[in-house]
Amino acid sequence: MSAPAARSTVLTTDADLVRRYRAGDERSATTLVTRHANAIARFLAGSGASGDEVDDLVQETFVRAFRALDGWRGEAQFRTWLFSIASNLRRDRYRRAARGAQLVSLDGVDLEAGEDPATTLDAREAELALSRGLGTLPRLQREVFLLRAQQGLEYSAIAVALGTTPGAARVHYHHAVKRLKELVT
């Protein structure tokens, strides 16, 4: 018997996976979902979607993305394009529900061994204040802040995802940070 073929250690790019999916490789779609679902879920939760909504919105984001895959030409990063779809879905659901954004749950966090309970309590209180503060920000400021601070996107990618300009994204981020600092301190 011959030894199994060695697997390539080179990561496949999103563009390669999209090409493979378009050619009929269903496993490429699974890889794309696995690669990006958690980031999309964190973004949606941070932008006010409830736990039940997050799962539905992540699923719907990928359903819409794969239906409109021909619309992605690789000019923006695949993840940025997904953030754009998720943002639009969240905004549409918010409008339909005509209710305020919900806060991200911060329960269920265990102390690590050796952590100081007072310091941990202070950190949790600051995190709760930040979460509440995010809920008070205008939608665009909140989404820009989450894409920049949580996802680490550059302003140009944020602009593509949210349909604005890099300069406007920078201004929204500045205002969000200023407002959140006022609320947390």
Nearest to 44 by CA among 124, 138, 142, 128: 142
Check residues 87 and 7 and name the one with the higher pLDDT.
87
The per-residue pLDDT for 120 is 52
pLDDT in tens, 76-113: 889 999 998 998 888 887 776 644 433 333 334 444 44
Give the rounded percent of residues in the chain with a pLDDT score beyond 90. Answer: 20
Output the six-digit token pair for 130.
């930040």
Backbone φ and ψ for 64, nearest 5 degrees, come out as: -65, -40
Of 44-48, 105-109, 173-177, the poorest mean pLDDT is in 105-109
What is the rounded distance in angstroms from the CA atom of residue 67 to the CA atom of residue 47? 24
The per-residue pLDDT for 16 is 92
Domains in the chain with CATH codes = 12-102 (1.10.1740.10), 117-185 (1.10.10.10)
What is the rounded distance in angstroms from the CA atom of residue 162 to the CA atom of residue 183? 25
Q: Which residues contact 33 (CB under 8 A, 6 or more apart)?
A: 62
Output the six-digit token pair for 8.
């390539």
What is the rounded distance in angstroms from the CA atom of residue 99 to the CA atom of residue 77? 32
Check residues 113 and 55 and name the one with the higher pLDDT.
55
Cβ density class 46-71: b for 16+ within 10 Å, e for less: bbbbbeebbeebbebbbebbeeeeee
pLDDT in tens, 120-167: 555 667 677 777 888 888 888 888 988 888 888 888 889 888 888 988
For all residues of the chain together, what is the average pLDDT?
78
